[in-house]
Structure 1
């Protein structure tokens, strides 16, 4: 099974691309610009962003960007992690979702997911299985296991007395939702509970490091690939930066532009620009 990137509905000509209808950009390049011997891997990533209608039948051209705007990038989970997550919960990857119904009918967090969609594609492209759980998650799953040892441990983590142990287990190690479920293997959640307890993948926002006048059909981003080691020697990698750094050239990436908080003064004005780092 290959979790193909879902096709989102195109925006109308008078609207713009967004979370519910991202622009499917093509990755032109994502090359390292720091010396290979240097500890920090910094990438210069280039995405297609045509100034005219890019598809047939014609779709709206992406919104032009200005200095100070940000590009939103929606990453995906590694398919192997998505398959591990589904296998743990005994959920079929080939199941087709025609509706998304969390336990709370007022939960609108999944309104941007295009339907129908396979469960594997949904988990790969929309579910934040690599996010870091909070105390409420441990309290919830303590009711979803029949194993008394697990139930007691999870209840302890969700209690006021167990917060020190939870910090050591969870926050300091940066454990993910997937890893917690792998540690507590008797926890079983229905699809409705998954949709209620786990959050959706969130877009990452990056400063645009290119000029529209020089690159009218592209967006450039300069980013640091996040990778670090925890106190127990576990390797942690940033979801979006690792996703982009390992993506083959030509792959589709879901992006859109949002207005930034910074605006340049009128032409001819004197400015002081400070570049404190990448990101």
Structure 2
């Protein structure tokens, strides 16, 4: 006789920004399904397979998600009146499905989360999405796996290291970074709009070859103004910069646009990134 499918307790919530953008209270009738004692943190996993660690508080018959919940809201780009269906999986994991205003289930937050990324996981964005263009050529430079960004229909080509103040791919879109940089001697790398635009990954080769450090709190400078950013670090020590999605949104970046990230630093420490956007029509 086949085993019966496990029926897990579940509940739904409607996203209302002024009520649950910072904290989410679980329904009173649902709390009884959570055994005592329990962890003071919970894992929320969305349909894209990504997870968020949030503070989980339970007292006097009430339970809620607190610290970290605002990050989940932001990363999944929740909009007013959207539905979230939570399914509880012991000991303290919640599987969430998000239903947009169209009433269809949607995949959101397709990003890599620093806190739970396994050491053996590979990130394709560094080798296939980012084009590292150094402005200085150290003697110890190695081409290795560093690849230029790809466009549809284009084959992979290794990065060509130039002499003097520039280095650019052998082929590809005609981009002349020197025409956009505030200071042609500054370091920079080229990126573009990706499916996962929640964070900006800094090419590890750039960090290593120029012994760079990034301030914990730094600034994106785009054509509109400034956006405070936060440095995060993966377990394999790669650096990514949060709040990048705000740059993409407010500048209405398209898939065909190119973005030159010019590093502004004092000594070896990067304090801000000047964003230069090259539209396709340019």
TM-score by length of 1: 0.27
Give the TM-score of the pair, scaled to structure 2.
0.26
- Select the structure that is richer in strand: 2
